[in-house]
């Protein structure tokens, strides 16, 4: 890590204090700090790395600060390396056999949490068929509703026309009948079947009788 250490003016001050040393052009103190750590981690592109190296070479104070950054990082190597217990593998395999579900459907919830944004992963073909079936059913359902609506509308129109035809004799003389203010007289007319087709037939029969 020391071999790869190249200073910059970025860490001459602790994080929350302003950095009086010349910074890199067009950067904030936080950008500078990030860039230095990224440089130590080997994450900078060539151009940015060269910039850091130039700054490092010109500032011994910053080099000292970065050295401390690097040394504290190396201290992490003193941490123990915990290992799994000897029984871990067998215990895990046993747990998997007893706890893991046997069907796909049970695994869905678990699978969702383990996915890393597999956005375009192809779905199984059974899903595709199911979705197509739903679409087809929905289409025919709409057709049926449309047909039912059309039929009821058409039926209503036809009935209405029939009624108009049946009452045509009355409608034709409606202005005259309005003058008759006697309901009894109207009732007699109705009983004589004056209104409607039967009324027309009676008129013909009356004319014949004459």
Partner 1 sequence: MTSTGSDYSIYLRDPDVQRMLRVKEGDEGAFAELVAAYQDRIVGIFSHLLNDPSAAEDLAQDVFLRVYRARHRYQPSAKFGTWLFHIANNLAVNRRVSVARRREISLAGSESGPLGLRPEEQLATSKSAFMPGRQLDKSEMRALIQQALGMLNERQRMALLLNKFEHMSYADIATTMDMTEKAVKSLLMRARENLKGYLEPYI
Candidate ranges 38-46, 47-55, 183-191, 196-204; the one touching partner 1 (CB under 8 A): 38-46
Closest distance of CB 142 from partner 1, Å: 34
Considering only the stretches 34-42, 135-143, 150-158, 177-185, report the one whose residues sit in contact with partner 1 under the rule CB under 8 A.
34-42
Binding status of residue 81 toward partner 1 by CB under 8 A: yes
Cβ contacts of residue 19 below 8 Å, gap of 6+?
Answer: 9, 10, 12, 13, 29, 32
In which residue are the tokens 């990224």 written? 38
Q: Is the CB of residue 9 less than 8 Å from the CB of residue 18?
A: no
Q: Which stretch binds partner 1 (CB under 8 A): 79-87, 126-134, 145-153, 185-193?
A: 79-87
Nearer to partner 1, 127 or 155 (CB): 127
Considering the complex, state which of residue 34 and residue 189 has its C-beta at the smaller distance from partner 1. 34
Note whether 84 binds partner 1 by CB under 8 A. Answer: yes
Distance CA 116, CA 11 (A): 35
Q: Which residue of 4, 22, 28, 30 would you call a contact of partner 1, by CB under 8 A?
A: 30
- Shortest Å distance, C-beta 112 to partner 1: 9
Q: Measured on CA atoms in the order 55, 60, 62, 67, is the torsion positive or negative? A: positive
74: Cβ contacts below 8 Å, ≥ 6 apart: 1, 2
Angle at 114 between CA 108 and CA 117, to 5 degrees: 100
Q: Verify binding: residue 110, partner 1, rule CB under 8 A.
A: yes
Distance, in Å, from the CA atom of 210 to the CA atom of 205, rounded to the nearest integer, reads 9
- Residues sharing a CB contact under 8 Å with residue 132, sequence separation 6 or more, in sequence order: none
Closer residue to partner 1 in complex, CB, 28/54: 28
Residue 133 C-beta: closest distance to partner 1, Å: 22
- Quick one: which of 1, 15, 127 has its CA closest to 76? 1
Q: How far is the CB of 73 from partner 1 (least distance, A)?
A: 6
Site membership for partner 1, residue 130 (CB under 8 A) = no
Q: Who contacts 170 (Cβ-Cβ below 8 Å, separation ≥6)?
A: 177, 195, 196
Site residues, partner 1 (CB under 8 A): 11, 14-15, 30, 33-34, 37-38, 41, 43, 68-69, 71-73, 75-76, 78-85, 88-89, 91-93, 95-96, 99-101, 104, 106-108, 110-111, 113-122
């Amino acid at each position: 890590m020391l071999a790869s250490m190249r200073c910059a003016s970025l860490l001459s001050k602790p994080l929350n204090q302003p950095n009086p040393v010349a910074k890199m052009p067009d950067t904030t103190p936080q950008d500078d700090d990030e860039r230095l750590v990224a440089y130590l981690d080997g994450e900078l592109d060539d151009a940015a790395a060269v910039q850091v190296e130039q700054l490092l070479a010109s500032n011994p104070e910053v080099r000292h600060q970065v050295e401390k950054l690097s040394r504290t990082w190396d201290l992490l190597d003193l941490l123990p390396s915990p290992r799994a217990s000897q029984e871990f593998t067998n215990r895990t395999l046993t747990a998997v056999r007893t706890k893991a579900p046997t069907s796909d459907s049970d695994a869905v919830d678990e699978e969702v949490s383990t996915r890393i944004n597999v956005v375009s992963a192809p779905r199984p073909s059974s899903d595709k068929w199911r979705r197509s079936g739903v679409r087809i059913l929905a289409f025919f359902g709409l057709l049926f509703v449309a047909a039912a609506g059309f039929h009821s509308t058409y039926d209503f129109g036809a009935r209405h026309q029939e009624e108009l035809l049946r009452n045509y004799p009355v409608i034709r003389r409606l202005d005259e009948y309005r003058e008759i203010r006697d309901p009894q007289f109207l009732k007699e007319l109705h009983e004589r079947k004056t209104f409607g087709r039967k009324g027309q037939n009676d008129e013909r029969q009356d004319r014949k009788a004459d």
